[in-house]
Amino acid sequence: MNIGIVCYPTFGGSGVLATELGMALADKDHNVHFITYRQPVRLTGFHANMFYHEVRVPTYPLFDYPPYESALSSTLVDVVKNNHLDLLHVHYAIPHASSAFMAKQILQQENKYVPVITTLHGTDITLVGRDKTYAPVVAFSINQSDAITAVSENLKEETYKTFRIEKDIQVIYNFVDVRRFDKKPIDAFRKVIAPDNERIVMHASNFRKIKRIGDVIQIFKTLNEHIPSRLLLVGDGPERHVAESLCRELDLCDAIRFLGKQQDMEEIFAVADLFLLPSEYESFGLSALEAMAGGSPVVATNVGGLPEIIIQGVNGFMGDVGDTDQMARYAIEILKDESTFSRFRDNARKQADNFDITRIVPQYEQLYERLYKGFCKGRHEEDKIA
């Protein structure tokens, strides 16, 4: 099958999931065409049936804001026509679903129809989508999609609660390649970070306010007072300077490392003992799942889709948003002795197995097949009537 994937090329969860999905589909002999404004960060290596199409947005003095949505729609039309795509799978509602709708309308004028699947990832519904500036377009473009998926039951419920959606939403969970993250830690790497065999705690995100980076540091501060530890902060974003200031204020600079944006996350997860994710909201928590695949239990907040992957007291703990003392106690409970830690670590890996790539990707393939066959049947019946 010839599949077009539209996504953000950044380190965010939607772009990571879309890229990993495309690479997995290419490994299963589908022809996959990525369509975005920059090569996705996780799109590495060469594959004979994987292609990248850049969306070029010309700049003119007339435009204060270059019209990316129009450029994306035109690019989609071009890629569909010249590469004979069977379907488009767009990730994140804004502006991908609306651009796909526009492209579909243009293609229909030329008697070319391509079904569109929209996958909702979280903030496109819970944050951006609720803005009155975008809400009507988000609702309309989702309803115009031929199929809709969400990455968690919670996000599905939030979507129905927020918008008047007239179609069924299928939940297909985010996934992780367990084999890729099941790595033996590099001893030299761990020794540099924790020279006295301290516990290594990790957080990874785009450092937005919703991630509550300050809470990560406060949890770590309390943990470190009881169990000698080191904190790795992976990622970057608008709250980094706030986090750096807090580290200096709490005199924790020697115990905390800012690693910036990283591509080979499996190498870092391999040395981590615990993952912290005290977010205000997570539609799923892909980084938490990757941490579990690497063998790290998770301490997080009881929000969004996180209860769908974290089993309280088994592979991690969930606390209330902002309750850093509670989450610190949970972290201490996991790391207090080797037998407890080993049990949590084993359970984390077992839970990750339930979301392995080999279990989830076939669900997308079944959706593609069902949608494409339905489309072909409908077109055949139309031709008979004509």
DSSP alpha helix (H) spans, 34-143: 68-83, 96-108, 123-126, 135-143
Residues 78 and 187 placed together within one structural domain of the fold: no
DSSP 253: G
DSSP 234: E
Give residue-wise pLDDT tens across range 158-216: 999 988 898 999 999 999 999 999 888 888 889 999 999 999 999 999 999 999 999 99
Q: Which domain holds residue 244?
A: 178-353
| Residues whose CB is less than 8 angstroms from the CB of residue 52 and which lie 6 or more positions away in sequence, other chains included | 33, 34, 39, 43
pTM for the predicted model, two decimal places: 0.89
Residues 145 and 12 placed together within one structural domain of the fold: yes
Residues 12 and 43 placed together within one structural domain of the fold: yes
Shortest CA distance to 142 belongs to which of 107, 170, 117?
A: 117
Residues 183 and 161 placed together within one structural domain of the fold: no
| Residues whose CB is less than 8 angstroms from the CB of residue 182 and which lie 6 or more positions away in sequence, other chains included | 293, 294, 295, 349
**How many CB atoms within 10 Å of residue 262?**
15
Residues 237 and 363 placed together within one structural domain of the fold: no
Residues 130 and 225 placed together within one structural domain of the fold: no
**Can you give the CATH number for the domain in which 91 is found?**
3.40.50.2000
Q: Is 215 helix (H, G, I), strand (E, B) or coil?
A: helix
Residues 22 and 167 placed together within one structural domain of the fold: yes
Residues 182 and 283 placed together within one structural domain of the fold: yes
Per the structure, how many domains does the chain have? Answer: 2
> Alpha-carbon distance 200 to 218, whole Å?
15
Residues 331 and 250 placed together within one structural domain of the fold: yes
Share of the chain above pLDDT 70, in %: 96
Residues 196 and 320 placed together within one structural domain of the fold: yes
Residues 316 and 373 placed together within one structural domain of the fold: no
- Backbone phi and psi for residue 18, each to the nearest 5 degrees, phi listed first: -60, -40
Residues 51 and 76 placed together within one structural domain of the fold: yes
Give residue-wise pLDDT tens across range 255-273: 999 999 888 889 999 999 9
